[in-house]
């Protein structure tokens, strides 16, 4: 089955490609030669995931799944949330985003946080949603060099390491995205069995 994954993030595509069975051919925005920015104007993760999947399926005619992920920090009222990728502003970097979070949590005792991923799947006759959550905490400083985004400052529950100190396989086994993708894959396999 050919499925489009609505992302320009090669790190995400690599993570997900490792989780999907060979019976699925995954094409990315680059494969489809999508150069325009896909609107992410919703105020929820669910809304943005559906916007992206609908856009790609509507314009390119390929069944599509799209994800949106947010880091939700208790002490910050679940910010950055849906604004995680642009938390430090439009011309932000991963480093800028992490520094803003660390600065805002400087005097906070409660460092509990969670990563939440929502995947929207748009098929010709069906729309589905899958969610993955991993609880954890924000570290006091960056640890590790793997991964991307907030991985160096997030430590999942029952771990002393950050996501950035884990191999991709270790992270996928417990990550929010890994959990949501497992639900997506289980659904697709049942659908085509």
CA dihedral sign, ordered 32, 185, 190, 6: negative
Among candidates 7, 5, 8, which has minimal Cα distance to 24?
A: 5
Options 31, 43, 67, 68, the catalytic residue = 68
- How far apart are alpha carbons 18 and 62 in whole angstroms? 21
What are the residues whose beta carbons fall under 8 Å from the beta carbon of 163, sequence distance 6 or more?
144, 146, 147, 150, 151, 152, 154, 155, 156, 171, 175
Q: Is 94 one of the catalytic residues?
A: no
Q: What is the DSSP string of 151-186?
A: GGGEEETT-SS-GGGS-HHHHHHH-HHHHHHHHHHH
Query: Known catalytic residues?
Result: 68
């Amino acid at each position: 089955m050919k499925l489009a994954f609505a992302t320009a993030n090669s790190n995400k595509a690599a993570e997900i490609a490792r989780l999907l069975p060979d019976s699925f051919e995954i094409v990315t925005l680059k494969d489809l030669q999508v150069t325009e920015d896909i609107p992410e104007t919703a105020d929820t993760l669910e809304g943005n995931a559906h916007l992206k999947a609908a856009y790609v399926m509507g314009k390119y005619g390929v069944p599509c799944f799209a994800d949106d992920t947010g880091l939700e920090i208790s002490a910050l009222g679940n910010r950055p949330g849906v604004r995680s990728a642009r938390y430090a502003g439009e011309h932000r970097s991963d480093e800028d985003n992490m520094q803003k979070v660390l600065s805002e949590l400087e005097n906070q005792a409660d460092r509990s946080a969670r990563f939440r991923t929502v995947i929207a799947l748009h098929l010709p006759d069906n729309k589905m949603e899958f969610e993955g959550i991993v609880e954890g905490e924000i570290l006091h400083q960056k640890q590790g060099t793997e991964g991307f985004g907030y991985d160096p400052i997030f430590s999942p529950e029952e771990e002393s390491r950050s996501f950035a100190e884990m191999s991709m396989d270790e992270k996928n086994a417990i990550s929010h995205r890994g959990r949501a993708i497992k639900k997506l894959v289980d659904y697709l396999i049942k659908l085509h069995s």
